[in-house]
Amino acid sequence: MITHGYLVQKTTLYLDGEFQGSCDERIEPTVFFIGNGPGNIDYKDLWIFRSALNHNEVRVISEGKSLVGSLEVMALLDDKDLKKGMVLNNYAHSLGAAILDPPDINNCTAALEEKIARSAVARANELKVEHKMAISIDPAVLDQFTGLYEIAPGDYFLVEKKEGRLYFTDRGNTAELLPEATNRFFIRYPADLTVVSESDGQGHITGLIFAMNAREMKARKVLKQESEK
């Protein structure tokens, strides 16, 4: 099983329920290709989940039990009269689909290979960039950034100061916000993730902007009165 957590930026590989290794990355998968090799391989029971699974959940599945709540695709690959391009039976309660040897697979594969090549070039260039260096600022300045932030309706994260340093915490995952200016921070990994503050006319912090690869996500700082409700 391969499982990926977008927020924690980690892909992990399990074999028979046992952890094999992981790598740091952030991806947005939309299509999976299985097979497409030179030889014949037997496959059975294709399961794709909407969310990343933890170690205990992976182990439960490896023991033959099921977690059906977050299934996107559950194809048992036992359809009758298999033929090229057919949509396989999906027993999960979703609109996801598994297609047997889709007619546009060559075009999709070529587009995927081109994207991989572009990513390799971008990664090589990224490695040439000098790493950002954190600057020293007055720890008292960091106090204005602490608090609760809403990045989506009902979805919050916390910024807090510990021992004179600023930390971002979301769903139990914590990363240090390293200052590169009095209103601008970065997170060590990924190296191109920057955090810029927004303020009102009186200098009060009203939100944070997370920027990575030309994409931005804004988070609104929650007022104390709101957090107490």
Structure tokens at 142: 């960091």
Give per-residue pLDDT as tens, 21-46: 988 887 777 777 777 666 777 788 88
**Beta strand pairing status for 194-199 and 46-49?**
unpaired
**pLDDT above 80 (res 137):** yes
pLDDT value at residue 38: 67
pLDDT at 229 over 60: no
pLDDT tens for each residue of 151-163: 888 889 999 999 9
DSSP codes joined into one string, 87-138: EEP--SSSS--EESS-TTHHHHHHHHHHHHHHHHHHHHHHHHSPPP------
β-strands 2-5, 10-15 pairing: antiparallel
Strand partners for 176: 167
What are the start-end ranges of the H helices in the chain? 55-62, 105-128, 139-142, 224-228
Position with higher pLDDT, 164 vs 116:
164
Q: What is the rounded CA–CA span in Å between residue 109 and residue 126? A: 25
- For residue range 140-195, list pLDDT tens digits in order: 899 999 999 998 888 899 999 999 999 999 877 888 999 999 899 998 765 568 89
Domains of the chain (ranges, CATH numbers): 2-128 (no CATH), 139-228 (2.40.128.50)
